[in-house]
Amino acid sequence: MGGRADLHIHTHFSDGVLSPREIIHRARACGLTALAFCDHDHTGAIAEGINAAAETGVEVIPGIELSAVLEGQEIHMLGYFIDPGHEMLQEFLLRVREERLRRASRMVEKLNGMNVPLPFDTVLDRAGQGSVGRPHIASALVEEGFASTYQEAFLRYLGTGRPAYEQKFPVAPAEIIRVIHAAGGLAFVAHPGSSLQENILLSLIREGIDGIEAVHPSHSHATEQHYRGIAEAYFLLTSGGSDFHGGKRNDQDALGKYVVSGDCVEAMRRRIT
């Protein structure tokens, strides 16, 4: 089939800016025929997005982005075609979001101890109904005048190794793959070219991932081709998308720019049937 799909989009249910409905309208305007909402640890955008897309002809593929840790390295993983209401998945997401809340609280406590009197309620207000994380703390720091930009908040306080940083709750990749598969979905490693070592990728292949995100803003053409080659060698699927957050990360023009073909979506659909 034809068409263009962006299979990595964030909404205000995690660390994006826009609502699912707003994204659907933008997706239609830039000619997308399919998209996947892949919010961190949250499936709230999916039903709203499907309802908003009903009259547009844009297909909404239920997705999720989850974080794992292997050999001390953080790994982002994507789930596609999941059942968002699956009990095991929702129990897992609730546990992870509770850990996210505790992590955010510890980071704000560190900031307060550094004479940065950021109220935790301000962070929660920024997160709204979404899954709380470092981007919400960064936005709150800018809002309260403790950092001039989102990027400065990470460089000065929140980035890995910075004074207010707290390690994420460690979840093994095997558990994430198991949860995604239990919910009827496909498990992909996200944007491996940004930081993932090859030995870690090979470990994930042995653990049972279904595919690799080859198209991503952090990937050059050569990097994309490299991961397509690995996927072909190990009989894996490929995906791709813009990792769109609504402009907060200077990605205003990314939606519709980093896409895969409709054939890619059909290959994924065949794998789960």
Q: How many residues does the chain have?
A: 273
- What pLDDT, on the 0 to 100 scale, is given for residue 249? 66
Strands 260-261 vs 4-9: parallel, antiparallel or unpaired: antiparallel
Strand stretches in the chain, DSSP E:
4-9, 34-37, 59-70, 73-80, 186-189, 211-215, 237-240, 260-261
239-264 per-residue burial string, b: 16 or more CB within 10 A, e: under 16: bbbbbbbbebbebeebbbebbbbbeb
Predicted confidence band at 251 (pLDDT cuts at 50, 70, 90)? Answer: confident
pLDDT digits (tens, 9 = 90+) for 34-81: 999 999 999 999 999 999 999 899 999 999 999 999 988 889 999 999
Residue 266: what residue type? E
- What pLDDT, on the 0 to 100 scale, is given for residue 72? 85
The phi and psi torsions of 196 (rounded to 5 degrees) equal -80, 130
- What pLDDT, on the 0 to 100 scale, is given for residue 1? 59
- What pLDDT, on the 0 to 100 scale, is given for residue 90? 97
pTM, 2 dp:
0.90
- What pLDDT, on the 0 to 100 scale, is given for residue 194? 80
**What is d(CA 215, CA 191) in angstroms, rounded to the nearest whole number?**
8
| Ordered domains of the chain (ranges, CATH) | 4-85+171-272 (3.20.20.140), 93-158 (1.10.150.650)
- What pLDDT, on the 0 to 100 scale, is given for residue 273? 72
248 pLDDT exceeds 80? no
- What pLDDT, on the 0 to 100 scale, is given for residue 150? 87
Is 130 or 30 the better-scoring residue by pLDDT? 30
Burial class (CB in 10 A: 0-12, 13-18, 19+), 98: exposed
User: For the packed helices 134-143 and 87-113, what is the interaxial angle rounded to 10 degrees?
Assistant: 40
92 pLDDT exceeds 70? yes
Least trusted range by pLDDT, from 73-77, 128-132, 167-171, 209-213: 128-132
**What is d(CA 198, CA 251) in angstroms, rounded to the nearest whole number?**
27
